[in-house]
Amino acid sequence: MNEVLEQSERLIASTKLDFRRYLAEYINWDNQLIGIKGARGAGKTTMLLQWLKSLKLPSDRAAYFSLDDLYFSENSLKSTVTQFYKNGGKILLLDEVHKYENWSKEIKNIYDFFPDIKVIYTGSSILELTLQSGDLSRRAVIYDLPGLSFREYLQMKGIIKLNKINLEDLLFKTEEVKESLPRDFRPLEHFKNYLAMGYYPFGLTDPSTLHQRINQMLRTIVEIDMAEIKDFDIRNAKKMLQLIYLISQKVPFKPNLTELASKTGIHRNTLNHYLDYLEKAEIITLLYPDGTGLSNLQKPEKIYLNNTTILNAMSKDRVEVGTIRETFFLSQMKPFHKIQMPKQGDFIVDEQYTFEVGGRNKTKKQIEQVENSWVVSDDLEYPIMRSLPLWMFGMLY
C-alpha cells in the first residue's frame, strides 16, 4: 500500500490552492460518506486534493486513491482500506470509482464496517446509471459539480473576484445587484473568450489543445465510462459518437427520432435511452415542453450541446450566435433550476419565470403578455428596465 500513499503525497504536494471551485464552500465535509459526481474535466479531483491539502495531515491519516490506478487491478479496495484503517487512517478520497468493479458494494461495506473512516468518492456524471447492488443512495450525501461558471472563469483567470448572484435578486433587485458590481468592470471584454473556451478548467491551462482534448473527452465518456452502464451495448459506441456529431451540426436540434435512428443505425426504441445517457453524461441538454414531466421515454422538443465550449469545439465556425446565447443560458441555469420550453418565449424556469434570449435589439414583444417575463441580451453590459445582460446569468454559482 506504500506506493499509493506515496503517490497521494506527491499529488497533494503539487496541488495549488490559488483557485477553488464554488462547491468546496457548500459541501458539508463532516458527513461520513460523500459522493461528488460531475462532467469529466470539471475539476472534481483538484477540488478534493485542495481540501485534503488544507487538512495538513500525513498520508497514513488522510489519503487520495484513484481507483483506475493499476494497483487496484491486483489489490482489492476492501483489503487496502482495512490496512489503511489498521495503520490509523481516518480520511479517504476515492477518485474515478466507476472504473472499479463492484465499487458501490465495496464502498457500502467500508461505510458499514469502518464507521471511523470518512469516505469521499468521485465519479463521472453517469454514476447513478452505474450503481450496482450496494446502493449508496440512503447513505451518501451526493453533490454535482458542473463546469466553470462565467464568475469562476473570471476568478480563475485572475481578472476579478465577484460574489455570486441569487436568481431572484437578479430578477427583482436588479438595481441592488448592479450597484454591487465594480464600476470599472467591463464584462463583455471577457465574455466572448469564456463562451469559446471557458467551461472546463483545462481549457484555461492550454487553449491550443482545447478542441483536441474535448474530442478525446467525448470519446472517453462514450467508449469507457458508458461501458459501465448496464443497458448500454458497447458495440454501439461508434454509433453514439456519430449521434453526438449529428446533433452538433444542427443544434438546437429538433429531433426526428425516426430520421436519427436511420442515420445512426441505433434502434428507435433505444434512441431515447441513449439521449438520456448523453444528457446525464453532460454532453447534451434535452429541452422538454412546459407542462410535461421529465422522462427518457418522452421525445424532447429541442436538443442542445451541454455548454458553449463543446459547441465551439464541435461546430466551430458553423454555429449561429443565437445558439451560443441559448446554450450559455441553459448551461448556467440547468444545474440548479428546472428549465422547459414555454408556448411563448425561449425558456421557462422553475415553472414561473419566462425568458426571451437574443441580442441588444431583442424586444419584449413576444412575451409582453406573459407574467414574470424578461428579455436576456448578450451584448448588454448592465440591466435596462426588464432587459437583463446574458453574462449576468453566469454569476449564479
Task: Among 3.40.50.150, 1.10.1740.10, 3.40.50.300, 3.40.50.720, name the CATH number for the domain at 2-145.
Answer: 3.40.50.300
Q: What is the pTM of this model?
A: 0.92
Task: Tell me, rounded to whole angstroms, the distance of Cα 143 from its chain centroid.
Answer: 11
276 touches 257 (CB < 8 A):
no
Q: What is the pLDDT of residue 206?
A: 85
**Cα Rg of the chain (Å, integer):** 22
Task: Tell me, rounded to whole angstroms, the distance of Cα 277 from its chain centroid.
Answer: 14
Query: Which of 261, 243, 379 has the alpha carbon at shortest distance from 324?
Result: 379
Locate the domains of the chain by residue range.
2-145, 151-395
Q: Distance between CA 300 and CA 255 in Å, rounded?
A: 7
Q: What is the pLDDT of residue 173?
A: 95
Q: Report the 10 Å Cβ neighbour count for 251.
A: 24
More confidently predicted of 56 and 132: 56
pLDDT reading at 296 higher than 60: no
Q: Report the 10 Å Cβ neighbour count for 9.
A: 15
pLDDT reading at 191 higher than 90: yes
Q: What is the pLDDT of residue 360?
A: 82
Q: What is the pLDDT of residue 131?
A: 57
Average pLDDT value for the chain: 92
Average pLDDT score over residue span 34-56: 95
Lowest mean pLDDT across 121-130, 143-152, 270-279, 345-354: 121-130
pLDDT reading at 133 higher than 50: no
114 touches 142 (CB < 8 A):
no
